[in-house]
Amino acid sequence: MIDKILETFREEVDELLVELENSLLELEENPADAEAVDSVFRALHTIKGSGAMAGLDQISNFVHEIETAFELVRDGELQVTRDLINQTLAAKDVIKTLAHLPEGASGAEPEEVAEIVQWFKALLPEAEETEDAGEEALVVSGATTFRIRFRPAPDMF
């Protein structure tokens, strides 16, 4: 059953990565294209969610950082730049590598993943971590955002 889930996930990711790349290339031509920004965000959001559902936390956690940057772009708080596009294209290659690893194999070079994650984290507003009833929370500009993780049992599907 897990093999079928991973196979379906990989097929979906491959399609989403093509969509992601096409949208990034559109943004390169027209950085103000809101439709292309939405397309990038949707592809990343879907990959993140599907990765989490398939139990591939490394992909889900990695994509979360990139998705957050594009959420800021959607909100008008961050501009599309050539560097943003290039880093997202590099991240796309890492996502593809991670998605096609045999089960139980380690991911892309940890240094490569860490460099990309750090680059995207540097784009985000300063956040201070707080503890609230044992849940993970971030306080950003006076707002509290909770990150809730749901991990279904392997036999749930």
Which pair of tokens denotes residue 139?
Answer: 């306080």
Q: Which of 40-49, 133-142, 143-152 has the highest mean pLDDT?
A: 40-49
- pTM to 2 decimal places: 0.76
Confidence of residue 83 (pLDDT cuts 50, 70, 90): very high
Distance of alpha carbon 100 from alpha carbon 155, whole angstroms: 22
Mean of per-residue pLDDT scores for the chain: 84
Q: Which residue type occupies 148?
A: I
pLDDT (0 to 100) of residue 49: 93
- Residues in Cβ contact with 28 at an 8 Å cutoff, skipping those fewer than 6 apart: 82, 85
Mean pLDDT of 6-22: 95
Which pair of tokens denotes residue 49?
Answer: 């969610």
What is the number of other CB atoms lying within 10 angstroms of the CB of residue 114? 11
Confidence of residue 5 (pLDDT cuts 50, 70, 90): confident
Q: Which residue type occupies 107?
A: G
Instruction: Judge whether 113 and 107 are in contact, CB under 8 Å.
Output: yes
